[in-house]
Each structure stands twice: as structure tokens, then as C-alpha cells.
Chain A
């Protein structure tokens, strides 16, 4: 649920990084946290188990600058990817305004990607939301492994598996090196802010954000 606070002149939007376990959702947030100047970001909050798996969620608030005198504050959340954390994933999706689906390029994770996308659809349905109606960006992560001997999926295969019917924008990424991380963030932020603004405040008149992290 986006919050428009006219008192502090802020708009708050929630973007959730979704995807199977170990696909690199938290890595995306870590990279953003380290790359963005302190002025434009809050504290990174993580709740993880000993094995560095996200237990509940990670949260990183960032400031995207101003649109029409309103400060755009985005909260980036990740969900725990492992399939048995379904209940927690659903909780994190509460009030979501935009979604990044981080898919794993490893061939042996193919089924997990598809399973996770189905799980996302099901969880959204429980909040009466449809994936097609929400701002959504795909990130095909671990593309740097293409030069290794590990079997990985081609972008065409990933598109066919996940994005065929949706047609959302996608980015190739190597989150550990930061490749594609900001491209993904920029696109989903743009779409989310547009979606929120168009739906509720400014009609169709959108101006570019001034200043901020991106």
C-alpha cells in the first residue's frame, strides 16, 4: 500500500524482490546498499538464519528524489526464497506496489524459477492482486556464469519459461558484481512511481525525479 504523506511531503512505495532461494535477491540489496550514498539510503535491515539465508525479509529504504515537491521514498524488501517459507513471503507482499522477479540462470534451477513465479501469482491472488496489473521487472541473474562450465539457461529459455505471457521488461544481471542491479532498480522504480502517481495523484502528468539515489 503506497502511503502519501502530505505533512512530510513524502510518497512511500514498497518494492518486493521475489524469486527462488539462492537466486540473489539479498545480493541485489547489498549491492545497492553499498553503492548508494548514505544521504540517499536508510539502514539495511536483514533477518537471516546462520546459513545466510533470509529468514523473514531484508529491508532497504532509499530516497529517489523529488517529483512535484514530494519526496519519493522507496522501501526495497526481499522475501525468503525457500519454498517452505510461503507464509512469510505472503506477509512481505502485503501492500506491495512493485515487484522484481529475480530468476536463477542455473539450468538445474529451472523448475524452481517456475515454481516461485506460480507461488507469487497465488500469493497475490490472496490479496486480490494480479501479476499483470502490477509494475513488474524480471532480472535474469548469474549471467556471468556463461563463461564457466556450469550449464545455464539461455535468456530465450528464461523468457519462454517465465515472461512469455507477461511481456515485462527484463535485465541480465550478475548481482555479485553489480551488473544489471541498478538497471533493474531504475526500471522498477520508474514503473512503480508512475503506477502510484498515475493511479492516485497527478493524472497523466509525470515529471522526472530531481536528485536522489538514481
Chain B
């Protein structure tokens, strides 16, 4: 894919999915980005986080770990998770070209985030592949 076009309607629907499935359970920020590091949609509160840099680094991080995966004979690591003192960040692959980034505090169980992210991935992918 060399070009992605997000219409207003598509953006709203994607945002709705992120809102309903992730922000509603307490995720502070959910970002859907592409593998080149562009933010497609965001939901939740960014609390002043520089989402442009975050998206670029998240995409690069994913790319780097995919190379590590190849070195040890894995195809890809489909999930990455970094734990902080207060905030945590979770990255998961959505289809081949997209990454879902979620930021959440310690009050939200990791298991719940992982469950929701998995559930939401297919829904997002369906919306993204609609023309």
C-alpha cells in the first residue's frame, strides 16, 4: 500500500471504536498509527504527549523488534508492552500495515487491555480496508 486516505466518516467510525472499546474501560490514550509513523486517529486524553513523535518512535520500535524477531527465527512479535512506574504502554499489530498504541495507568489490569485490543483489532481492520 502506498497511500492511505482517511475520510471524515471513516475517522469518526475508527474513533468511535477506540472510544467505546478502550477509552471506556479507562485507557488514557489510544492511537491508531501506520507503519510509516503517521497518526491515523487518536482517542482519549493525550495529556500533552507529543503524538507525532510517539507515533514515529512506536513505528520504529515495532520495526526494530520485528528485525530482532527475525534474528531469532520468529516472523514478528505481534505485541509489545512497556511497563512504567505509573503509566504503561502497549503496542499491537493491526493487520499488516497498522499498529494500535494504548497508554494506561496501573489501575487498569493489563489482561483487560490485551483482551480489548485483540477484540478491537479485527473491527479496526474491517473499517480500514473498506474503501
Interchain CB contact under 8 A, A4 and B8: no
B89 part of interface (Cβ distance < 8 Å): no
Q: Using A42-B50, A91-B60, A91-B64 as known contacts, say yes or no to A1 and B6 having CB atoms under 8 A apart.
A: no
In the bound complex, CA of A99 to CA of B4 (Å): 20
A57 part of interface (Cβ distance < 8 Å): yes
Of chain B, the residue at the smallest CB distance from A59 is B56
A56 part of interface (Cβ distance < 8 Å): yes
List A68-107 residues whose CB lies under 8 Å from chain B: 75, 77, 87-88, 91-92, 94-96
Interchain CB contact under 8 A, B4 and A3: yes
In the bound complex, CA of A1 to CA of B10 (Å): 18
Interchain CB contact under 8 A, B3 and A200: yes
Q: Using A59-B53, A61-B52 as known contacts, say yes or no to A91 and B4 having CB atoms under 8 A apart.
A: no
Per the CB 8 Å criterion, the residue count for chain A at the interface is 29
A43 part of interface (Cβ distance < 8 Å): yes
Q: How many A-B residue pairs have CB under 8 A?
A: 88
Q: Which of A5-13, A114-122, A160-168 contacts B (4 or more CB under 8 A)?
A: A5-13
List A1-56 residues whose CB lies under 8 Å from chain B: 1-8, 12, 14, 42-43, 45, 56
In the bound complex, CA of A6 to CA of B1 (Å): 18
B129 part of interface (Cβ distance < 8 Å): no
Interchain CB contact under 8 A, B60 and A5: no
Residue from B8, B38, B50 having most chain A Cβ neighbours under 10 A: B38
In the bound complex, CA of A43 to CA of B53 (Å): 8
Of chain B, the residue at the smallest CB distance from A87 is B67
List B43-100 residues whose CB lies under 8 Å from chain A: 50, 52-53, 56-57, 59-60, 63-64, 67, 97
Q: Using A94-B63, A95-B34 as known contacts, say yes or no to A6 and B6 having CB atoms under 8 A apart.
A: yes
B40 part of interface (Cβ distance < 8 Å): yes
Interchain CB contact under 8 A, B63 and A4: no
Q: Using A87-B67, A91-B60, A94-B63 as known contacts, say yes or no to A5 and B3 having CB atoms under 8 A apart.
A: no
Q: Using A75-B37, A95-B36 as known contacts, say yes or no to A43 and B50 having CB atoms under 8 A apart.
A: yes
A199 part of interface (Cβ distance < 8 Å): yes
B17 part of interface (Cβ distance < 8 Å): no
Query: Contact check: which of A2, A57, A75, A95 meets B35 at CB < 8 Å?
Result: A95
B20 part of interface (Cβ distance < 8 Å): no
Cβ contacts under 8 Å, B38 to chain A: 1, 3, 12, 14, 75, 95
Sample 20 A-B pairs with CB under 8 A, ordered by A number.
Answer: A1-B1, A1-B4, A1-B34, A1-B36, A2-B3, A3-B36, A6-B7, A7-B10, A7-B11, A7-B41, A43-B50, A45-B56, A57-B60, A59-B53, A59-B56, A75-B56, A91-B60, A94-B59, A95-B34, A200-B3
